[in-house]
Every structure is written in C-alpha cells, then in structure tokens.
Amino acid sequence: MPFDAIQHLLIGQECQRLIHRYAYLNDERDFDALIELFTDDAILYRPSAPATPLVGREVILAAFRSRPADLRTFHLCTDVIVDVEDPEHAFARSRIVLLSGARSDSETGIVDVVSKPPAPGTFQDRLRLTAQGWKFSERRGSFWI
C-alpha cells in the first residue's frame, strides 16, 4: 500500500499525542502508564542527566520511581515537529519548559510549594510503531540552562 498524505498526517498526529501524553503522565506521577509509552528496548536520556542513557523499560521505570515523593512537575510542551520517515518510524523534536518544586501538605491543609526557576529545554525523539501503537524507542532531553 502506498504511503499517502493522509497516512502521513495521521502518523504525525499520533506521534504528537504520544509526546503530550508523556508530559501529562509524568506530571501526574503515573509511572506505570508512562512506561507503557516506551518500547522494550527504549533508551532515555533525561534532561537532568543527558550524558547518562537509561536503557530498557525496567531501568527507565526504576529511575522515575526513584524521584522524590514531594517533587511536583509541570511540563509545558510546545513546537512539536514530527518528521515521518516511513509508516513505522518517525523523528520528533519538541520544546519544553519545566516548572518544578517540592510540595508538602501540612496538617493545616495549606499546601506549601517551594518552586525552582523555570527550566527550558528540548526533546529529540525516535518513535516506532508497535502492535500497541506508537512508542518512544529513544527520547533524548536536554536543558538549555
């Protein structure tokens, strides 16, 4: 079957959805659902440690689970560009601004948040179509500051 413009647009839309879903699940700390966005052999380079690859879903999941319990994040994800290579592979770039801080719920019911400065950065993604849909095979993040 030929690779047509409509298929190209649908792939781009699905890949953008994957990137935005990552941000939501990460901020919601739903790491069990988040890891399902990665292929079994995925590689993740976190923006906070871009020279250290996390290889495989088990290692990636362990890294997310090891984050401090009081850490809260809010990823603003924008300027997503998807380059469809073929019907099963794509490359994407996106920009992020990470808002984060420690949060503690006091006995008074007042939520205390200690925020860090906003951190702009980028992601470069290798995406692959699997039997379960589009997934990250490689996600490479870096902060600009």
The separation between CA 52 and the C-alpha centre of its own chain, rounded to angstroms, equals 16
Q: What is the pLDDT of residue 110?
A: 56
Contact between 80 and 16 under an 8 Å Cβ cutoff? The reply is yes
Q: What is the pLDDT of residue 69?
A: 86
The residue behind tokens 């966005």 is: 37
pTM: 0.89
Q: What is the pLDDT of residue 71?
A: 86
Q: Consecutive 10-residue runs of the chain (145 residues): their mean pLDDT?
A: 82 98 96 98 94 97 93 93 97 95 66 77 98 98 87
Sequence ranges of the domains in the chain: 5-143
**What's the burial of 90, exposed, middle or buried (CB within 10 Å: 0-12/13-18/19+)?**
buried
Fold of 5-143: Nuclear Transport Factor 2; Chain: A, (3.10.450)
Contact between 90 and 11 under an 8 Å Cβ cutoff? The reply is yes
